[in-house]
Structure 1
């Protein structure tokens, strides 16, 4: 999630109980006890219950999932029972200060296997076996069937984390995030952001003033901003039985009724700006109470895929042991050929998904976010036994995806320089805030004037960015065709 960036997903109704509610909550409590108390974002994933659902059995998800995992398309091992992803997010930049991934498995994993597969340096932190990995994370053996990962790989921070939670048997999460453990009784996927006191009312007023959802509406902006500033958090849940359902809830500390008529448009605008919008939400039923807005409805196949795609963890370490076992009996030449083929197929499938997302996304922000997300997935593909030429192709692909993302964001060198000039000419002082809302805000003497000019510059640069991104994808297609031909001839396999 998170560096993975973060984290989104969904729920519906207590009638969707798939197993003993007590057992589900207790299971996640045990994992949650290992999460640092400063976490303000969390994801709970009950893979075991998802795969046991009638819909999963009817559509053969287990076999498809194992095939996708083998090719690197998903990064959660099939033997994962429950997983928690947590982070302390800086909501000003939407970047994590730290991330933790914790998982319980139905089979044992060892640090030695992970080090061999993922390519890391064995270590011992306190009494626990650990491995420092090249993706700036540490993987720690917490128990025979439990692994933990922390990023970044600051050994002292990891050591303190382990020491703090080693004897901890109960979660130390914020009251808001503790509610996710209850939600896991009926939902196999739960994502929550604790947003209490994250953004000041003065900034929210600026954001609301520029909101298309409120354009032309007779709204008391001061009162609306004050209500929005009382935001406690957002929870997104997904439940799967014979169908899949979603629910999104927004909680406030005070009466937010003034926002009720515009709740759904504001939510969609914010999610779209962040690149986290799921199209199903547009058709969901909305209900409002004084302190809570809820949206619920069915979730499509594409909606499920988008939710699960957003669940990512800081390292390939949690899956590495499975892959090393699957190829351990093959001759070295065959291992290289098979690993290289799987790596290539994973990259091309990821690239194709990125192209599909780009064609269906409604904003450039959505496109940019998904390109960043897919580039991270390629970064985290297992690389053991992969041909060096193919690894170079992987690095090329991620770099070009990030180039396309940067182009779509409209933050190239020219745009930055032009905007800097506007600042010099029209402002006396200022600061900016990226923020959970998406975009930024400015404290300036002539805020409206400057912001208008910056928007005009941004629109022009983004138009150029879209053209640049299309050219990058065309270039990537040509490079992919060349690599496919070279590798097919080299290994006498169909790539």
Structure 2
């Protein structure tokens, strides 16, 4: 959900110093104390801004959500996401979402829509869904989800967080992030506590390959110590007459070493994690005390990228939909609408992913592979009620093709590495000479004229050169094969899309 979340920052810009006391009311203490990631969105404030009105965000909000490009429910007032991730291996241990909606809602509609089973956990109505997620009625207008759907864990979570005590030992970094949203009033806050996650050995090995460091004169050992002591990363976005953001990285020591190289270093990390936004190149860096900051304006595309990081489950917002009565749609118009909407959602995701490598300046197969997996999951999570079976099969096939492309790209580096490891290219060395002549004259005289010369390369050095040459060939071969495989998958995607479009147009007699 919040994987690779590089997060947030408070920033010195004009904004209200306080917000309404009800903002995110009752949410903080629902977050387990072992959380290391936090996202908070004040949707009312964000969509009520001048820039939102000027750029018609509200008008586009429902369409973007229906197409699967935005995870923010159209009827949401406040959203909080939290989780605990294994940051070393990029695995989620648990995730939760809390959404306050406009008006009362009923969780029973979620079970009807997604085929879940109704339950009652700690005195609250709940639905256990097939995708390993519980949806819980926290209060009349506050719904929550928790995954994995282990009933014992969900019960303990609810029981332990049915409190407003301040004694619980939350991550100080996330507590500070919570204050940015509730006291400063920043509409979008994303924060990650990364303290003690980086070893000095890993940091040093990464920094040794960082070219700007070699040219800066900064001491490698001192910079390694600073980076290994990173405490957290925060991203903050505020909206007034324009959209302004900041990335904040906090360290345990003075960050002065990053005055010149902090920005290129941060950008390199974000690119490696697939979290780069083009706007960052134009943002202004600054260092103050133990903090590196990057501030600037977010373009419309940049703001959309920030929102695309979120993967709030559709089940949660779909709980606001009323269940349809049997026989209330005798002409099948709901089925037509559901089919058309599902088709548009999938094809929109296809085109968005097709352009993403170019738009995000992706340089490696590994960076691109992450997005293929993410878009496959977006398709998996699209609403399916009343959707034509043939269309569901199509969507499932596209998701599997995305995953096939992901595995193909991830395999490029592994296959090349295995081949290089077994590449025992050798050479016996070589010897060559070039003539010249020398002549003598007189008794015991010396020679004159150009002298011949010889040169040789030993077997060991020649073998190293040959291995380097053939290793480069292996790498190029695997990259070419990986690109060709992905291209073939895209051809299949285009063929399946064209086929289902013809089929659905003929079946429903409406344009797809």
TM-score strictly above 0.5: yes
Aligned to 1:316: 314
Distance 2:43 2:469 in 1: 47
User: 1:170-215 CA deviation, whole Å, 9 max, x = no partner?
Assistant: 5753100111122223421111110111111122111111234435
Aligned to 1:432: none
User: 1:1-30 CA deviation, whole Å, 9 max, x = no partner?
Assistant: 23xx35456667455436x72426x52352
Residues 402 and 14 (structure 1), Cα distance of their counterparts in 2 relative to 1, 3 Å cut: same
TM normalised by structure 1 equals 0.86
Cα offset for 1:91?
1.0
Residues 183 and 153 (structure 1), Cα distance of their counterparts in 2 relative to 1, 3 Å cut: same
Gaps in structure 1 of 5+ consecutive residues: 423-449
Distance 1:14 1:217 in 2: 28
Q: Which has the higher helix share?
A: 1
Distance 1:268 1:186 in 2: 27
User: 1:461-488 CA deviation, whole Å, 9 max, x = no partner?
Assistant: 3443233222222221111010010011
TM normalised by structure 2 equals 0.84
Residues 105 and 254 (structure 1), Cα distance of their counterparts in 2 relative to 1, 3 Å cut: same
- Confirm or deny that 1:53 pairs with 2:70: no
Is contact 1:80-1:104 (8 Å) kept?
A: yes
Cα offset for 1:136?
1.3
Aligned to 1:399: 400
Aligned to 2:205: 206
| 1:21 partner SS | coil
| 1:27 partner SS | coil
Residues 318 and 286 (structure 1), Cα distance of their counterparts in 2 relative to 1, 3 Å cut: same
Equivalent positions of 1:120-269 (< 5 A) are: 120-168=116-164, 170=166, 173-184=170-181, 185-269=184-268
Aligned to 2:286: 287
Distance 1:358 1:327 in 2: 44
Residues 463 and 272 (structure 1), Cα distance of their counterparts in 2 relative to 1, 3 Å cut: farther
User: 1:297-343 CA deviation, whole Å, 9 max, x = no partner?
Assistant: 11111100100111112x32212123456999544722222111111
Distance 1:304 1:175 in 2: 28
Is contact 1:119-1:384 (8 Å) kept?
A: no
Is contact 1:194-1:232 (8 Å) kept?
A: yes
Aligned to 2:409: 408
Cα offset for 1:79?
1.3
Cα offset for 1:137?
1.0
Aligned to 2:437: none
Residues 335 and 295 (structure 1), Cα distance of their counterparts in 2 relative to 1, 3 Å cut: same
Residues 206 and 7 (structure 1), Cα distance of their counterparts in 2 relative to 1, 3 Å cut: closer
Equivalent positions of 1:330-349 (< 5 A) are: 330-331=329-330, 333-349=332-348
Aligned to 2:383: 382
More off after superposition, 190-199 vs 208-217: 208-217
Residues 339 and 223 (structure 1), Cα distance of their counterparts in 2 relative to 1, 3 Å cut: same
Residues 183 and 457 (structure 1), Cα distance of their counterparts in 2 relative to 1, 3 Å cut: farther
Residues 66 and 153 (structure 1), Cα distance of their counterparts in 2 relative to 1, 3 Å cut: same
- Confirm or deny that 1:477 pairs with 2:476: no
User: 1:389-444 CA deviation, whole Å, 9 max, x = no partner?
Assistant: 1111111111111222233334577457547768xxxxxxxxxxxxxxxxxxxxxx
Cα offset for 1:168?
3.6
Residues 229 and 123 (structure 1), Cα distance of their counterparts in 2 relative to 1, 3 Å cut: same
Cα offset for 1:376?
1.6
Distance 1:168 1:452 in 2: 65
Cα offset for 1:39?
0.5
For the pair shown, which has the larger CA radius of gyration, 1 or 2?
Answer: 2
Aligned to 1:353: 352
Aligned to 2:461: none
Is contact 2:67-2:346 (8 Å) kept?
A: no
Cα offset for 1:378?
1.0
| 1:210 partner SS | coil
Distance 2:268 2:470 in 1: 22
| 2:336 partner SS | helix
More off after superposition, 413-422 vs 293-302: 413-422
| 1:74 partner SS | coil
